[in-house]
Chains A and B, each alone.
Chain A
């Protein structure tokens, strides 16, 4: 193997180590000075442990690199580059979680959503907890984490000690400026509904019925939904229609006075 390739591998490994170290410092610094809802703890634990294991991986991956063949070294270089991109992807969600400190989030609604989850047997069985993230664009999000979970499963094969993603955490994002919106509870329950749709066997039970109704245009045949069907497909549209119904149903149950909790 030529020296240039070995040198490139070493410098990429160094860069991965340094980046993981910086992200870990950023996380720890913010956790020390900000107060976050306890629901996000599993997520922060995941990040801290992920960065630590990646730092170690950056060091261990290049041991004996001179003794390896060229194809191995070339693929290690690719892997290190990919891990660096994955760090970027992890940072994206971590930053949104770090910003969602207790003072910036509608904390009583978060308590209410968690109470709601624990009152639904299927969600209680999966220990589902809800966490808020702040979203940069002016949109509400449910963050589907399936691909990140699949990615972290692969990382566990690659990197020693890489943690499993907390799959029972429903991550809901909302624009920072909307935290005082009186209709926030509806929108957040709508987003939580997407998580329930993905996690619980709802789509198998009602998906086809909703799809057939929305295709026939009765009673959901408005222009917005037709546009949604053409751009995202019928299954995604059934999910969206279901969430609209969920908002209506759950809004009726929402107490006028939201629960509060005194924090130490």
Chain B
């Protein structure tokens, strides 16, 4: 393994990948057994935050400030993954914002399901699974691209000689 510090952006990509893959698995279990676990509920709530991301930088900054789960969408690069994930599952990139609203509704539908009433939400769960499957793939690719490089500038400070110099 490499001794050099791992950049924070890798931690962010891994967070997104972990979140996406776990949500897909929980949704698969939900479709197969109709069981809505506590983990699924919590992941759905976190997913809503992914969808509330706006393309504008200012909006993104507000979101990150307001939400401690900033590990999910910390950089503009991560937001760019969302339209790309949409296009991979056949949704045109120009329609990604309205598609996000639909997925947000799907998450709310799953959270609202109670008892045996899982029938209509299976279609919603499948849509979500396909999207997050694609998003997880992209996040993994991004973490590979970032790799382990030198630490980012904001994590470091100057050594004493350079401060004096």
Residues of chain A whose beta carbon lies under 8 Å from any beta carbon of chain B: 68-69, 71-72, 74-76, 78-79, 81-83, 85-86, 88-89, 91-92, 95, 135-144, 146-151, 153-155, 157-158, 175, 178, 181, 183, 186-187, 190-191, 194, 224, 231-232, 236, 240, 243
Contact = CB atoms under 8 A, between A and B. Distances in A.
A147 B28 CA distance: 28
Interface residues of B, number: 49
- In terms of DSSP, what is the predominant structure of the interface of chain A? helix
B153 to A, nearest CB: 6
A190 B157 contact: yes
B129 A71 contact: yes
Contacts of A144: 8, 155
B136 interface: yes
A150 B25 contact: no
B154 interface: yes
Nearest to A239: B154
A178 B15 CA distance: 34
B156 A141 contact: yes
Contacts of A143: 5, 155
Contacts of A146: 70-71
A95 B3 CA distance: 8
B22 A158 contact: yes
B11 interface: yes
A4 B115 CA distance: 36
B108 to A, nearest CB: 19
18 contacts: A68-B32, A69-B28, A71-B28, A79-B21, A85-B143, A88-B6, A143-B5, A144-B8, A147-B70, A147-B74, A148-B11, A150-B11, A151-B18, A153-B69, A158-B18, A187-B159, A232-B154, A243-B157
